[in-house]
């Protein structure tokens, strides 16, 4: 699932001190990643995390287990831990930590954040609700790449492909953009009579055009510095420059199409690329060629607003076009204003360890 664009390198915050990185017997390469055997004592903060809170995410991944996980998934399902200490003992008994590095042995990377937007919408165009969100046009199956964002807004032939495909209308074009960047979201329909309904807007496809960061576009034009660029800053710039918003939007030619889904359990996030619901604070997006879906991962990073340590067990359950490389993750914060604030400002240093069944290597 795509993330809020991270237009710059990590800010100058102090990364947790890294242990020496040495060539280790048993290390192996997996696409862009180098997996290096590690000891449990190497994982910073391992004794302090509420690791049992990650168990629902682990069981969700076990519904689609990676190769070599079937036996352990059965054990996890039929003998769930009763406490954090029990969970730690179970993990230490059955799993081996592997330090994740780039192919040239660099263990330092980057973690960004993403969230599930919650946007008020209307079923029909009315009042301020004029910005349409679209389902997949039939022509997308035969025309690749499809029309760009600007073409879909201006060319009659392109606009005709979207006619009748409107799912909903929102009031702010940046709300539509963030739904497309995040890849999914929640729509709250508030009808004129006061009735409300909340549904999920799920990713259904895109126009096969390259993704371009609007944050990067603003930086290149001197509208904001790289250090200050964040989703809240982009929204603030748009409020001050309403006549240039369309120009900014057209800088990103990619358009995402959606499908509407019911929201039976509002406590669960959208389905990630692994095909399981994401759990706020315990699911991440990864480069699946480096870290397979369903892998438990130990993160060593910092909070985006306070820079206090953020060290916890998460599950690799999603991906995104900007998530490339071995030590690269996108942290799912959930939904709502707090999740948006944290996700929009998260560009933190990262070290990470993959946890894998003992005696095995990922295929």
Give the start-to-end residue ranges of the domains of the chain: 28-113+269-357, 115-261
Q: Tens digits of per-residue pLDDT, 127-185?
A: 999 999 999 999 999 999 999 999 999 999 999 999 999 999 999 999 999 999 988 99
Closest alpha carbon to 350 in 24, 100, 70: 100
Please report the beta strands in the chain, taking only residues with DSSP state E, as ranges in sequence order: 28-30, 33-37, 95-102, 109-116, 118-121, 131-134, 166-170, 185-190, 196-206, 256-261, 283-285, 296-302, 309-318, 328-335, 347-357
Topology adopted by domain 115-261: Ribosomal Protein L25; Chain P (2.40.240)
Instruction: Look at strands 256-261 and 131-134 and give their pairing.
Output: unpaired
Q: What is the pLDDT of residue 337?
A: 87
Predicted confidence band at 232 (pLDDT cuts at 50, 70, 90)?
confident
Global pTM value: 0.82
Q: Tens digits of per-residue pLDDT, 21-56?
A: 334 579 999 999 999 999 999 999 999 999 999 999
Nearest-angstrom CA–CA distance, 149 and 87: 48
Domain covering 28-113+269-357 in this structure, CATH number: 2.40.40.10
Q: Is 33 helix (H, G, I), strand (E, B) or coil?
A: strand
């Amino acid at each position: 699932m795509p993330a809020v664009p991270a237009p710059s390198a990590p800010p100058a915050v102090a990364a947790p001190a890294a242990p020496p990185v040495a060539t280790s017997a048993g290390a192996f390469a997996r696409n862009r990643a180098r997996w290096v055997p590690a000891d449990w004592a190497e994982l910073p903060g391992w004794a302090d995390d509420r690791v049992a809170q990650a168990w629902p995410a682990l069981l969700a991944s076990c519904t689609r287990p990676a190769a070599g996980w079937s036996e352990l998934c059965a054990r996890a399902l039929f003998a769930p831990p009763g406490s954090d200490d029990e969970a730690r003992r179970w993990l230490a008994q059955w799993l081996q930590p592997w330090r994740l590095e780039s192919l040239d042995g660099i263990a330092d990377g980057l973690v960004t954040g993403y969230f599930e937007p919650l946007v008020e919408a209307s079923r029909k165009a009315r009042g301020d609700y004029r910005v349409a969100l679209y389902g997949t046009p039939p022509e997308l199956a035969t025309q690749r790449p499809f029309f760009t964002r600007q073409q879909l807004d201006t060319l009659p032939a392109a606009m005709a492909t979207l006619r009748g495909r409107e799912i909903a209308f929102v009031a702010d074009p940046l709300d539509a953009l963030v739904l497309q960047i995040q890849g999914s979201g929640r729509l709250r329909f508030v009808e004129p009579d006061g009735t409300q309904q909340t549904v999920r807007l799920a990713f259904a496809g895109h126009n096969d055009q390259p993704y371009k960061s609007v944050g990067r576009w603003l930086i290149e034009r001197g509208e904001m510095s790289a250090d200050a660029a964040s989703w809240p800053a982009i929204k603030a710039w748009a409020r001050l420059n309403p006549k240039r918003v369309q120009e900014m939007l057209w800088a990103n030619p990619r358009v995402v199409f959606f499908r509407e889904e019911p929201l039976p359990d509002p406590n669960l996030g959208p389905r990630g690329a692994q095909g399981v619901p994401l759990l706020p604070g315990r699911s991440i997006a990864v480069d699946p060629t480096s870290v397979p879906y369903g892998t438990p991962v130990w993160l060593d990073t910092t909070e985006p607003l306070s820079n206090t340590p953020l060290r916890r067990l998460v599950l690799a359950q999603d991906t995104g076009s900007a998530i490339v490389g071995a030590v690269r993750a996108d942290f799912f914060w959930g939904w709502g204003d707090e999740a948006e604030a944290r996700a929009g400002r998260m560009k933190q240093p990262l070290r990470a360890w993959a946890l894998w069944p003992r005696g095995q290597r990922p295929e």
